[in-house]
Amino acid sequence: MPSPLDLVDLPFLRDALFELVLLGVAGGVVGAWIVLRRLAFFSHAVGSAAFPGLVVADATGVSAAVAGLAVALGYAGGVRRASRAGREPGEATALLLAAALALGVVLASDVFESGAAVDRLLFGTLLGLDAEDLALSAAATGLAVAATLAFGRTWAAVAFDPDGTAALGVPAKLADFLLLALVAVAAVAAIPAVGALLVTAVYVLPAAAALLLADSVPGLIAWALALALAEGVAGLYLAYWLDVPAGPPVAVLGGAAFALVSVARGPARAGRRVRGPAPEAV
C-alpha cells in the first residue's frame, strides 16, 4: 500500500499535488461564485467545449493551454452573445456545448485519429503535468483572487438583488462577462489534472456542499476552499493508490462529501440561505 508521504517524495506526485492545491484555491474562490450565480452547467459545459481545441493541440503540437483557452473564451463569448440575443442562458449553453462536443468527436476519430489521447483529455492524468500546466493553474488562481477582490461585491449584488444593481449603477453586464471568462480560464486550467468532463469535481461539488454550511459569502468561499483542497489531496492519493486518473476519485469524493453534508445539514438549512452584502456595501 503506497504511503501518503509518496505525494511529496515522488517528483511527479509533487507536481500533481501542487497542481491540485492551486486548483483547490481556485475552486474555492471561483466555485463560490459559480453556485451563487447558478453557473454549474456552464462551468461543466465550458470545460467540455474546450475538447476540440485540445484535440487539435494534441495532434499538431500547438500549446494545449493556448488552444484550450481560445476555445473556452470563444465559447463563453458565444454563450453571452446568444443570451443577449434573446435565448435563455441554459439553452445557449446546451446548444453550443452539443456543437463543440460533436466537433471534438469528429476531429478525434476521423481527422486526427487521436486514440488514447482522448482518455487523457477527458479524464486527466497524473503523469502528463508540466510547467505550462502549473503556470496556467497559478495564473487562474491569481486571477480568481484578484477578480474577487475587484468584482466580488458586484457579483454578490447581482446574485442577491439583480434588479437593485441597476439602480445602484453597478456595471452588471461587464461583471457578468468577466465572471464567465474567469470560469472559462479556471475550467481550462483544471483539464490537465481532472479532464474536460470532470471540471465540476473541482469547482461545483465543493462549493455546492459549502453552500449548505455557510451563512455568508466569505464563509461560503472559506468552506468551498477547504473542501476543494481536502478533496483534491485525498483524491490524488486515491488515484495513485488505485492507479487511475485523478479526476474520477476527486469527483467521487466531492459527490460523497456533498451527500454527507446534505444529509447532515439539509434539514437545518431549510428556509435559510447565504446572506448577501448590504446595499450600501456594494
Sign of the CA dihedral running 63, 65, 70, 71: positive
pLDDT class of 68 with cuts at 50, 70, 90: confident
**Residue pLDDT, tens place only, 44-66:** 888 888 888 888 887 787 887 88
Q: What is the pTM of this model?
A: 0.84
pLDDT class of 84 with cuts at 50, 70, 90: low
The C-alpha atoms of residue 207 and residue 178 are separated, in whole angstroms, by: 20
**Can you give the pLDDT at residue 186?**
93
**Can you give the pLDDT at residue 278?**
40
Domains and CATH numbers, the chain: 6-265 (1.10.3470.10)
Check: CB of residue 133 under 8 Å from CB of residue 19.
yes
Average pLDDT, the chain: 82
Say if residue 126 is exposed, middle or buried (CB neighbours under 10 Å; 0-12, 13-18, 19+).
Answer: buried
**CA distances, 103 to each of 51, 61, 65, 209 (Å):** 9, 19, 19, 34
**Residue pLDDT, tens place only, 219-243:** 999 999 999 999 999 998 888 888 8
* pLDDT over 70 percentage in the chain: 82
**Can you give the pLDDT at residue 280?**
35
